[in-house]
Amino acid sequence: MSKKVIMRQNLICNFIIINVFISLLVTVGSVSASYFQDTGLLDIPTAYVMDNGIFNAGVKTSIRHETREEIIVRIDFGLLNFAELGVAGIRLDAKDYLMCNAKVLLARESGVLPEFAVGMDNLGEKLQDYDLSFYAVISKQFNLPFIHIISGHLGVGNKRYIYDESIGKYLHGAFLGLSKELVLTSRNIRLSLMGEVKGNNVNAGLKYTMNSGLIVNFAAEGLNSKAKNIIYHVGIGFTNAQMIKDIAQSIELAKQAVRIANEASSESNAK
């Protein structure tokens, strides 16, 4: 199958996904909180930011005691390759709440030095469990035997990162996490496995990213508590990262074709 056919199929699939997402926006009536941010793990941020022009949009809900709680929709986008901004909305108890978040990259990962970023969550309307919070976080990739590339994340924050119960009493606002990405080349998909400790919770989940840009997320919050108290989060989203990559590759191929044609023309004229 040619690259043009694959790109055409991806564009059609992306168009369908975008329309489904717009329909979800209209249905929900609000625009999300911390879960399933593109460069975050589950409920904690990382130091990585999206590239300029890349965006991630999605809708998510949580289930506790077999009852659906809030419905959340969010959009995050990269700016100038060193910042990440987001608009988040929560539909809770028939009311809509609007939140914003931001993250700025201060140092890139280089050698033994980690990536370093600072940011804020939940800037906007006052809502319980969604206080304006600030954080600093470092992220670093490690190449380990058998496991190969794995990313570690360590940070500290206030407000929503601080708990006085369970393990939260010892963390004092610190949070940490691990993530591992698996690339399934046969199907052109990426599977990200994630685990984290934040406040009084141990969380785990996965992210399934298809070549079309469609993202499916699943997470379990509070694995260190009783089974009946575990909160399950399910989300679906879309990213234009693969589309931008395909466009960049097509432009590069076009440039190479023009360069080869010019070289051939020059050789022909020389003869």
155 in a structural domain: yes
* 17 has pLDDT over 60: no
270 in a structural domain: no
pLDDT tens for 247-259 read: 888 888 888 888 8
pLDDT tens for 106-141 read: 999 998 999 999 999 988 877 766 788 999 999 999
271 in a structural domain: no
Question: What would the 3-class secondary structure string for the chain be?
Answer: CCHHHHHHHHHHHHHHHHHHHHHHHHHHCCCCCCCCCCCCCCCCCCCCCCCCCCEEEEEEEEEECCEEEEEEEEEEEEECCCEEEEEEEEEECCEEEEEEEEEEEEECCECCECEEEEEEEEEECCCCCCCCEEEEEEEEEEEECCCEEEEEEEEEECHHHCCCCCCHHHHCCEEEEEEEEEEECCCCEEEEEEEEEECCEEEEEEEEECCCCEEEEEEEECCCCCHHHCEEEEEEEEECHHHHHHHHHHHHHHHHHHHHHHHHHHHHHHC
Do 77 and 238 meet the contact criterion of CB atoms below 8 Å apart?
no
pLDDT score for 11: 47
Residue 66 lies in domain: 3-265
Which of the pair, 70 or 243, is modelled with greater confidence?
Answer: 243
Q: Identify which of 78-82, 121-125, 209-213, 265-269 has the greatest average pLDDT.
A: 78-82
pLDDT above 70 covers what percent of the chain? 83
118 in a structural domain: yes
259 in a structural domain: yes
* 92 has pLDDT over 90: no
78 in a structural domain: yes
pLDDT tens for 208-241 read: 998 888 999 999 999 988 888 899 999 999 999 8
The total domain count for the chain is 1
pLDDT score for 186: 63
* 30 has pLDDT over 80: no
Mean pLDDT of 27-41: 60
* CATH number of the domain that residue 65 is part of: 2.40.160.40
Instruction: Provide the whole-model pTM.
Output: 0.78
9 in a structural domain: yes
Please list, in sequence order, all residues whose beta carbon lies within 8 angstroms of the beta carbon of residue 218, skipping any fewer than 6 positions away: 205, 206, 232, 233, 234, 235
Query: How many Å from the N-terminal Cα to the C-terminal Cα in the chain?
Result: 38
Please list, in sequence order, all residues whose beta carbon lies within 8 angstroms of the beta carbon of residue 123, skipping any fewer than 6 positions away: 99, 100, 101, 102, 132
- pLDDT band for position 242 (50/70/90)? confident
